[in-house]
């Protein structure tokens, strides 16, 4: 398997997304690859696609800043983009094609103490339809308070 050179990391408001950013930055750093972080605001069909969703945009920009900080802590810069789309999965695939991405890295959360993983419709759509490699990073089972002391 070739080392990814151009990586797209879709992010949402969870630790698994930030873990995926860390993985992407760590993988890209030795080869000086590029890492793109994207947050997609899904716009309901009852609104125009270019509707001004200020609260969602502020949250998305905050997530991108957080991802940039996580990547900086891993020692590698990323660039972030905020997009609006009807379906996040298709928007991720379109963004991957537009940026000649060779790997998409997505974080998924595990639920409770059982470690059960539910991929969700967006991750499933990307896995089923991507024309590039897709890596899925599962959130660590280590409680966050312990996780920072490793």
pLDDT digits (tens, 9 = 90+) for 80-121: 999 999 999 999 999 999 999 999 999 998 776 666 777 889
Rounded CA separation 81/8 (Å): 11
Single pTM value for the model:
0.87
Long-range contacts of 144-147 (CB under 8 A, 24+ apart): 144/15
Find all residues with CB under 8 Å of 77, minimum gap 6, and list them. 35, 68, 71
Model confidence over 18-39: pLDDT tens digits? 999 999 999 999 889 999 999 9
Residue 108 near residue 121 (C-beta atoms within 8 A): no
């Amino acid at each position: 398997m070739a080392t990814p050179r151009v990586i797209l990391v879709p992010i949402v408001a969870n630790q698994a997304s930030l873990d995926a950013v860390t993985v992407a930055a760590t993988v890209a750093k030795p080869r000086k690859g590029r890492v793109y972080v994207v947050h997609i605001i899904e716009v309901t069909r009852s609104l125009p696609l270019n509707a001004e969703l200020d609260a969602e945009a502020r949250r998305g920009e905050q997530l991108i800043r957080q991802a940039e900080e996580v990547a900086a802590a891993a020692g590698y810069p990323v660039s972030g983009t905020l997009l609006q789309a009807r379906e996040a999965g298709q928007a991720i695939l379109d963004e991957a094609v537009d940026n000649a991405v060779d790997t998409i890295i997505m974080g998924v959360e595990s639920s409770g103490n059982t470690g059960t993983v539910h991929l969700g419709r967006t991750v499933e759509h990307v896995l089923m339809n991507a024309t590039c490699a897709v890596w899925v990073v599962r959130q660590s089972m280590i409680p966050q308070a312990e996780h920072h002391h490793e």
